């Protein structure tokens, strides 16, 4: 039975940054989002509180601005190649992120089987309501992983999780194999393997060798 590879995005596939910060660069809101990220990382705000504040700052955001942020973001090298190899092996891969789905879904074009993010209204937001039931928290990653296992006919024992921070801790604890990719203290003690670098192929190779 093949494996299911589960990737975080912010801080993992995106090195040293997040989709929100990359979007903020084009809007002149970098400091505002760095503050939000700091508050979330320190657990002073939760996912719904973060999303509501981001939503207010994004009222005039357009698909064109998101596309520009996506294309200019600091992605790890080798992402497409890793996903192509996973497909060639008859295995599956998915991205599960707490970030907005309008950014995460763009990774489907790079060859990942599935991409999950927090659900927001269609852009631009002006005049539309935010449904907080579509937002994700760290525990949501475990539930989504279970649904993907059911879809692809595998179990948690067949999962490999790749992540970097607190938002990945619950998933790391739920699956037998995990890789800390440029990770912080929240995942370093939980991870089966650790990788520091700028090429996803090297992190993936650690799993293949094991």
Catalogue all structural domains in the chain, each as residue range(s) with its CATH number: 4-16+74-209 (3.40.50.1000)
Q: How far apart are the first and last CA of the chain?
A: 16
Per-residue pLDDT of the chain (210 residues; tens, 9 = 90+): 699 999 999 999 999 999 999 999 999 999 999 899 889 878 899 888 988 999 999 999 999 999 999 999 999 999 999 999 999 999 999 999 999 999 999 999 999 999 999 999 999 998 899 999 999 988 999 999 999 999 999 999 999 999 999 899 999 999 999 999 999 988 988 999 999 999 999 999 999 998
Beta-ladder partners of 14: 10, 75
Beta-ladder partners of 109: none
Q: What is the three-class DSSP state of 30? A: helix
pTM, whole model, 2 decimals?
0.95
For residue 53, the tally of other CB atoms under 10 A from its CB is 17
Torsion-angle region of 119 (φ positive above 0: left; ψ -120 to 50: alpha; else: beta): beta
Cβ-based neighbours of 61, under 8 Å, separated by 6 or more: 23, 27, 123, 124, 125
User: What are the helix (H) ranges across the chain?
Assistant: 19-27, 30-41, 47-57, 63-72, 79-88, 101-104, 138-152, 169-174, 185-188, 200-209
């Amino acid at each position: 039975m093949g494996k299911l590879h589960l990737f975080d995005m912010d801080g993992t596939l995106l090195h040293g940054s997040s989709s929100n910060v990359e979007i903020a660069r084009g809007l002149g809101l970098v400091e505002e989002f760095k503050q939000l990220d700091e508050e979330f990382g320190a657990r002073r705000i939760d996912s719904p509180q973060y999303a509501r504040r981001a939503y207010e700052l994004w009222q005039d955001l357009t698909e064109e601005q998101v596309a520009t942020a996506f294309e200019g973001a600091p992605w790890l090298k080798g992402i497409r190649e890793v996903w192509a190899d996973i497909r060639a092996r008859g295995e599956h891969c998915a991205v599960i992120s707490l970030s907005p789905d309008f950014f995460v879904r763009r990774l489907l074009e790079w060859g990942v089987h599935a991409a999950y993010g927090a659900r927001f209204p269609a852009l631009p937001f002006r005049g539309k309501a935010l449904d907080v039931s579509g937002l994700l928290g760290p525990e949501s990653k475990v539930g989504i992983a279970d649904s993907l296992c059911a879809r692809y006919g595998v179990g948690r024992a067949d999962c490999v999780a790749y992540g970097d921070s607190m938002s990945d801790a619950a998933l790391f604890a739920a699956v037998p194999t995990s890789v800390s990719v440029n990770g912080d203290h929240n995942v370093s003690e939980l991870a089966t393997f650790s990788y520091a670098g700028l090429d996803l192929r090297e992190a993936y190779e650690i799993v293949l060798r094991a």
